[in-house]
Amino acid sequence: MTIELENVSEEESKEQTEERSDKKQQHKRKGGCFKTVMLAFAMVIVVGVSFFAGRQSVMTSSGFGTGLNNGTILRKLSLLEAYTGKYYLNKIDADNVEQNIYKGFAKGLQDPYAEYYTKEEFKQLTEEDSGEYEGIGISVAKDTDTGYAEIVSVFKDQPAYKAGLKTGDLIIAVNKKSTMNMELQEVVSEIKKKENKKVVLTIYRDKKSKDYTVKKSSVQLDTVSYKMKEKKIGYIAVSQFLENTGDQFDKAVTALEKKGMKSLIIDLRDNGGGLLNTCTQMVSRVIDKDKLIVYTKDKEGNKEEFKSDSGKTLDIPIIILVNGNTASASEIMTGCLKDYGKATVVGTTTYGKGIVQNIMPLTDGSAIKFTIAKYYTPNGTDIHKKGIKPDVKVKMSDAQWKKAQTDEKADKQLKKAIELLEK
């Protein structure tokens, strides 16, 4: 059983409080309330994306049940099959019907994070979590206002970037197939079809639509970037928590330490989450060994703790930059360092995604994902639908944020972090 801290989803975004209205604007800007984010290099469900916590289990048919009347369901399915087999005009794709029955089961759970993956979809997911895959180099989210997939970020020097795609673009069709109300995994699968070396994306931007042909290639995602700023202030930006992110973060810290780093800014803005084991690896680089990082509780009240294991403590002032799209694993890192007084949090209230999913592989290569527990910061704080409030609140408008992407001087939050560290 794979524990996952999925990225924020559509239904949760509808339940934010008024005091977080500024965050809603960020959500809308960066991906329709950041609905279940999927990296689409051609893409990663990041899931957001998967979090491997190493908990294994074997289930048998005894002792488990959902209350479904299987006999009635089977009889009804047989009847539906008989009717369609006799009267349906077109040829029936039996495998497609079967896969959609399973997808319907997941949807029926009314869990915004629940999803059934076909064998091919699950294979794509596990490949994407590694940070290297065949794709185009973008991340997408569901835009609830339009029903289309929206590009949340475009990764520099990757195929989509070279083709001219931009953050905020709406993907209204993939290979001439409309994406309206299409599940994000379907969008990802269409983009990543192995038989196609190129993908045609119909993009809606500035009230106009245009086709972009993007050649796919092997994409290796660098999720960590770093540099030394004035007065020996280190700066590390983390975009996702994938399998290779922990090692990249460690290399960044080591490189900055060799340059004489005296303080550090960790930028988790617009980081929608990632793998739990990667998150704990990175936090372990900052706090003492055997310190509690996060714990979970399931519906039976069973508690599982995750602790640091490296003991490579960073004993310097740290500031974490956050915004309304800082979610899931990013909130675990933020909450942990805040609870221990290891970091000052600057920005706006985080998203507030405090529940855990698992991905359970099935024997035929497919898998199902659903919510299994809530997680809590070391101090026992439940951040679900509440988020983490910054120690120093610094708002940025959409226009300011957009400008800050190309002009660092316009980044009010980063500027405040530097001011605090220079005192």
Q: How does DSSP classify residue 231?
A: G
- DSSP reduced 3-state for 271: coil
Which of left, alpha, beta for 303 (phi over 0: left; psi -120 to 50: alpha)? beta
Catalytic (active site) residue 239? no
Give the span between the Cα atoms of 384 and 354, in whole angstroms. Answer: 4
Could you tell me the end-to-end alpha-carbon distance of the chain, in angstroms, rounded to an integer?
Answer: 47
Higher pLDDT, 188 or 42: 188
For the chain, the helix, strand and coil percentages under 3-state DSSP, each to the nearest 5: 30, 25, 40
Give the span between the Cα atoms of 310 and 290, in whole angstroms. Answer: 8
Catalytic (active site) residue 139? no
Give the span between the Cα atoms of 171 and 152, in whole angstroms. Answer: 11
Of 13, 328, 330, 366, which is the active-site residue? 328
Domains of the chain from N-terminus onward: 224-354+374-422 (3.90.226.10)
Of 192, 291, 353, 416, which is the active-site residue? 353
Q: Is the pLDDT of residue 42 over 60?
A: no
- DSSP reduced 3-state for 239: coil
The pTM assigned to this predicted structure is 0.74
Catalytic (active site) residue 339? yes
pLDDT of residue 9: 35
Q: Is the pLDDT of residue 29 over 50?
A: no
306-361: pLDDT as tens digits: 999 977 778 899 999 999 989 999 999 999 999 999 999 999 999 999 998 889 99
Of 239, 339, 342, 366, which is the active-site residue? 339
Which residue is it, tokens 């001087």? 409
- DSSP reduced 3-state for 174: strand
